[in-house]
Amino acid sequence: MTACPLCLPTPFETLWADDFCRVVLLNDADYPAYCRVELLAHVKEMSDLPPPERAKMMKVVFAVETALREVIQPDKINLASLGNKTPHIHWHVIPRFTQDKHFPNSHWGEAMRESHQAQLSAEEKQLLADKIKAYIQCAFSST
């Protein structure tokens, strides 16, 4: 059996972390602000967590959603917790636009059109990451 990829150090940029979970910015060319909230402990299902930890996980998910709404103002945010391939609690936070490659389908579904997402330069990616980090921090400091 191979090691759980979410139990290993992340290859993605960490936007925020504490001793419970981390928020990473996935490197998706079509969805440049696509984030994932990853529980640090290897736990399979949300219902395996005690209620206070469930609430803490959702507080982080909602902080990321709020940050993405503020930073890039998407038409919709998709939240997903699947874990079929990786049975380790994690949440996908995906900003969506009506003209993105898959809309209105899931971003894992059939593409509806060719991608028209401009490729971000390294500097633009870092600026986006920095803005999202700042808004996540703000979300936690205001509660």
**Closest to 72 in 3D by CA, of 127, 28, 20:** 127
The residue with tokens 């980090």 is 133
The residue with tokens 């995906």 is 94
pTM: 0.91
Specify the CATH architecture of the domain 13-141: 2-Layer Sandwich (3.30)
| Mean predicted lDDT score pLDDT of the chain | 91
DSSP label of 41: S
Give the span between the Cα atoms of 79 and 61, in whole angstroms.
8
In the chain, which stretches have pLDDT less than 50?
1
pLDDT (tens digit per residue) in 26-43: 988 889 899 999 999 999
Which amino acid is residue 101, in one-letter code? Answer: K
